[in-house]
């Protein structure tokens, strides 16, 4: 997959350089804390390389997001095989956060997924991640469930999550 819009690009993660980049981001507790991993994932570039080698458009894709050709974050989608795709996104470079890139990059990915035939996009986020929830709701996502203290992070602290879904008719595309 490769999607370009102005100075932004979403492309397949592939090769040793991308595996190293993803491992660095995933091992950074500051980047991964919102996902329940304040100590990072503890993965290696070799492990990541083996995982992305099995990605296909029909099953799952880990993707690199770039601005002006420079990686700023990662996103992914997983085929849930019932017309749904589950997505995730992280702007990993803190200097690139809160600049409006997330909603445009999400629009790019969601538009492509709907054009690939998916009828529903789902995601979840930490209940405390109000910034992400605001972006999701601007894109047309609807909150479907809240799970209070439903899991624990690496440090054993209870965490809550919120589930969202998006149908094509509710999608607000920020690339138009």
Angle at 33 between CA 29 and CA 36, to 5 degrees: 120
Helices (H), the chain: 15-26, 29-32, 45-52, 101-115, 130-138
Number of structural domains (the chain) is 1
Residue 89, domain member (yes or no): yes
Residue 42, domain member (yes or no): yes
For the chain, give the number of residues.
176
Residue 169, domain member (yes or no): no
Q: What is the mean pLDDT of the segment spanning 140-156?
A: 97
Q: What is the mean pLDDT of the segment spanning 14-27?
A: 97
Give the predicted TM-score (pTM) of the model.
0.95
**CATH assignment of the domain containing 94:** 3.40.630.30
pLDDT of residue 126: 95
Residue 134, domain member (yes or no): no
Report residue 153 as tokens: 């992070």
Residue 29, domain member (yes or no): yes
- Give the C-alpha distances (Å, rounded to integers) separating 175 from 32, 73, 74, 147, 168: 28, 19, 19, 32, 15
Residue 34: pLDDT over 90 = no
Residue 32, domain member (yes or no): yes
pLDDT digits (tens, 9 = 90+) for 84-114: 999 999 999 999 999 999 999 999 999 999 9
Residue 60, domain member (yes or no): yes
Give the range of the structural domain holding residue 96, as residue numbers without chain letter: 2-123
Mean pLDDT of the chain: 96
Q: What is the mean pLDDT of the segment spanning 41-65?
A: 97
pLDDT of residue 1: 93
Residue 172, domain member (yes or no): no
Q: For the packed helices 45-52 and 15-26, what is the interaxial angle rounded to 10 degrees?
A: 120
């Amino acid at each position: 997959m490769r999607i370009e819009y102005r100075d932004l690009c979403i492309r397949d993660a592939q090769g040793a350089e991308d595996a190293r980049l993803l491992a660095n981001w995933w091992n950074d507790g500051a980047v991964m804390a919102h996902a329940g991993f304040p100590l990072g994932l503890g993965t290696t570039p070799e492990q990541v390389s083996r995982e992305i080698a099995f990605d296909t458009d029909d099953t799952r894709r880990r993707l690199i997001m770039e601005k002006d050709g420079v990686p700023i974050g990662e996103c992914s989608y997983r085929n849930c095989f019932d017309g749904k795709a589950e997505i995730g996104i992280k702007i990993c470079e803190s200097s690139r956060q809160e600049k409006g890139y997330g909603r445009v990059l999400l629009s790019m990915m969601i538009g492509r997924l709907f054009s690939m035939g998916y009828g529903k996009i789902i995601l979840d986020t930490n209940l405390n991640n109000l910034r992400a929830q605001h972006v999701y709701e601007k894109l047309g996502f609807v909150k479907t469930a809240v799970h209070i203290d439903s899991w624990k992070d690496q440090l054993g602290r209870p965490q809550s999550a919120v589930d969202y879904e998006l149908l094509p008719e509710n999608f607000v595309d920020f690339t138009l």
